[in-house]
Amino acid sequence: MHPPATLRQHLQTLDPLQQSMHAAIADTVLALADGARELAELISLGTLAGTLGALRGGSNADGDAQKELDLRAHELFVERLRGAPVAAVASEEAEAPQRLDAKAPLAVAIDPLDGSSNIDTNVSIGTIFSILPAIGNAATDFLQPGHAQLAAGFFIYGPQTALVLTLGRGTQVFILDRRDGDFRLARAQCKLPAGTREYAINASNYRHWEAPIRAFVEDCERGSEGPRGSDFNMRWIASLVADGYRILTRGGVFLYPGDRRRGYRHGRLRLVYEANPVAMVMEQAGGAATDGVQRILDIQPATLHQRTPLVFGAIDKVERVRRYHVESIADSAHWPLFGRRGLLRG
| Residue 34 assigned as binding residue | no
Kindly provide the b/e burial profile for residues 306-324, where b requires at least 16 CB atoms within 10 angstroms of the residue's own CB.
bbbbbbbbbbebbebbbbb
| Residue 225 assigned as binding residue | no
Q: What is the dihedral of CA 206, 207, 209, 210, to 10 degrees?
A: 130
| Residue 114 assigned as binding residue | yes
| Residue 115 assigned as binding residue | yes
| Residue 92 assigned as binding residue | yes
Distances (CA, A) of 242 to 159, 281, 336: 11, 14, 34
| Residue 117 assigned as binding residue | yes
CB–CB of 312/289 below 8 Å? yes
| Residue 219 assigned as binding residue | no
| Residue 198 assigned as binding residue | no
Q: Could you tell me which residues come within 8 angstroms of residue 326 by beta carbon, excluding any fewer than 6 positions away?
A: 293
Which uninterrupted H or E stretch holds 219? Answer: helix 211-221
Binding-site residues for substrate sit at: 114-117, 202
Binding-site residues sit at: 92, 111, 113-117, 202, 274
Binding-site residues for Mg(2+) sit at: 92, 111, 113-114, 274
